[in-house]
């Protein structure tokens, strides 16, 4: 009987054939999974610190509980939401939040654009000093800023009253307290907003200006018809951040300076839900306010993102 042996090269080819057939599958699986492996840490943090608390807040909004560990949690369904929308303090806090946001827009949109455009004329070391001077208030802790401003706005003895020759109690008068919060918050956010506008200006190519000058356009026409339209995505981003972050950024100032007063003149929606939880000890009502706050700002954020995308697409 004769035995025919295959050449070694043929045996290696036959043995390597299953490996070669598996390589495309492994390549496709790797291409699909590798991006998600990079995203996995961020997704875990989002689930643990964002989505899970949202679900827990929604669940808590359907209970009546006074935050005591020994007290039972009584399910009440949608009663907290019904009670919340009937409270005058809730609707008033929404209106105060709108006033606060509108009052901050000049500090976070208008002034930063003007300052950033003016800073283009400053060069050398003076430009660095100018930028540091503008950005410095953003680095001040809100509680420290509140303490300094309370001293500056003290009635009669304060620097502001002495400069104006008045004896007004700026912090504890209902007519002036909201504007004090707006001015201090705007003073702190101005540097951040200017930095964002500087980044937006850096992304605009200088070729547009040169081409416009060749065509005989003046400096004012270049700013009006080229620079400002190309800054529209940056402006939309600043409006979005102002709307979303204003209630939270003003909380340290309100809690330190006015505690929501006088006569709830500085109680916005964010401070109100904190007051329900830790002053009234009504966890369900506070959670309901938080859920409505999340949904309301989510709708506003979606609308602003849609508008900004339309503006960016139009500019392209």
181: confidence class by pLDDT, cuts 50, 70, 90: very high
Q: What is the model's pTM?
A: 0.81
Distance CA 72, CA 86 (A): 25
pLDDT for the residue 67 = 84
Say yes or no to pLDDT of 132 above 70. yes
Give the pLDDT score at 51. 87
Q: Which of 19-28, 167-176, 301-310 has the highest mean pLDDT?
A: 167-176
The pLDDT value given to residue 172: 86
Structure-token pair, residue 86: 């009937």
Q: How far apart are CA 247 and CA 192, in angstroms?
A: 17
Sign of CA pseudo-dihedral 153, 266, 298, 106: negative
pLDDT above 70 (res 64): yes
pLDDT at residue 178 is higher than 80: yes
Cα dist. 181→47, 104, 170 in Å?
Answer: 34, 10, 10
Residues 4, 241: Cα–Cα separation, whole Å: 79
Confidence of residue 20 (pLDDT cuts 50, 70, 90): low
At 313 the pLDDT is: 52
Domains of the chain: residue spans and CATH: 19-60 (no CATH), 84-315 (1.10.3720.10)
Amino acid 287: pLDDT? 92
Residue 47 has pLDDT above 80, yes or no: yes
Rounded-to-integer distance, Cα 61 and Cα 49, Å: 18
Q: Give CA–CA dist 280/44, Å, rounded.
A: 34
Q: What is the pLDDT of residue 11?
A: 46
Query: Rounded distance, CA 175 to CA 61, Å?
Result: 34
Calpha distance 295→181 (Å, rounded): 25
pLDDT tens string 219-246: 777 777 888 888 888 888 899 889 888 8
Q: Which two tokens stand for residue 91?
A: 């609707």
Q: Are 84 and 90 in contact (CB under 8 A)?
A: yes
pLDDT of 4 over the 80 cut: no
Q: Which two tokens stand for residue 161?
A: 């009253």
Task: Determine the average pLDDT of the residues in 194-218.
Answer: 82
Give me the pLDDT at residue 14, please: 47
Cα gap 201→293, rounded to integer Å: 34
Tell me what the mean pLDDT of segment 104-127 comes to. 85
Helix (H, G, I), strand (E, B) or coil at 115: helix
Length of the chain: 316
Query: Using an 8 Å Cβ cutoff, are 72 and 251 in contact?
Result: no
Question: Which pLDDT score is estimated for 312?
Answer: 59
Please say if the pLDDT value at position 55 is more than 60.
Answer: yes
56 alpha carbon, distance to own chain's centre: 22
Mean of all residue pLDDT scores within the chain: 83
- Residue 280 phi/psi, 5° resolution? -90, -10
Q: What band does 58 get if pLDDT is binned at 50, 70 and 90? A: very high
Exposure string of 158-176, with b = 16+ CB inside 10 Å and e = fewer, is: bebbeeeeeebbbbbeeeb
Q: Please enumerate in sequence order all residues whose Cβ is within 8 A of that of 78, keeping only pairs 6 or more positions apart, or say none.
A: 62
Segment 110-117 mean pLDDT? 90
Of residues 188, 283, 195, the one with CA closest to residue 245: 188
Q: How far is CA 216 from CA 205, 210, 221, 222, in A?
A: 18, 10, 10, 10
Rounded-to-integer distance, Cα 188 and Cα 257, Å: 15
CA dihedral 223, 226, 228, 233 (to 10 degrees): -160
Q: Among positive and negative, which fits the CA dihedral 192, 201, 113, 93?
A: negative
Q: Partners of 64 in the beta sheet?
A: 74
């Amino acid at each position: 009987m004769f035995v025919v042996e295959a050449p070694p090269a043929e045996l290696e080819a036959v043995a390597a054939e299953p490996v070669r057939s598996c390589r495309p599958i492994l390549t496709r699986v790797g291409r699909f999974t590798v991006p998600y492996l990079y995203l996995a840490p961020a997704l875990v943090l989002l689930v643990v610190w964002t989505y899970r608390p949202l679900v827990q807040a929604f669940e808590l909004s359907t209970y009546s509980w006074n935050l005591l560990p020994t007290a039972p949690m009584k399910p009440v369904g949608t009663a907290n939401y019904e009670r919340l929308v009937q409270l005058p303090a809730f609707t008033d806090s929404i209106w105060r939040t709108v006033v606060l946001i509108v009052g901050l827009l000049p500090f976070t949109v208008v002034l930063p654009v003007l300052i950033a455009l003016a800073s283009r004329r400053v060069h050398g070391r003076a430009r660095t000093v100018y930028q540091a001077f503008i950005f410095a208030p953003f680095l001040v802790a809100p509680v420290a800023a509140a303490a300094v401003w309370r001293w500056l706005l003290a009635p009669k003895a304060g620097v502001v009253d002495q400069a104006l020759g008045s004896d007004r109690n700026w912090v504890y008068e209902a007519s002036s307290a909201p504007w004090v919060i707006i001015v201090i918050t705007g003073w702190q956010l101005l540097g951040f907003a200017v930095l964002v506008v500087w980044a937006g200006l850096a992304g605009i190519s200088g070729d547009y200006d040169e081409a416009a000058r060749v065509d005989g356009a003046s400096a004012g026409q270049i700013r009006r018809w080229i620079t400002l339209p190309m800054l529209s995505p940056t402006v939309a981003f600043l409006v979005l951040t102002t709307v979303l972050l204003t209630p939270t950024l003003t909380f340290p100032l309100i809690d330190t300076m006015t505690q929501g007063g006088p006569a709830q003149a500085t109680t916005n929606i964010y401070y109100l839900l904190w007051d329900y939880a830790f002053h009234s000890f009504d966890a369900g009502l506070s959670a309901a306010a938080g859920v409505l706050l999340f949904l309301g700002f989510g709708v506003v954020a979606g609308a602003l993102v849609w508008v900004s995308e339309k503006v960016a697409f139009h500019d392209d």
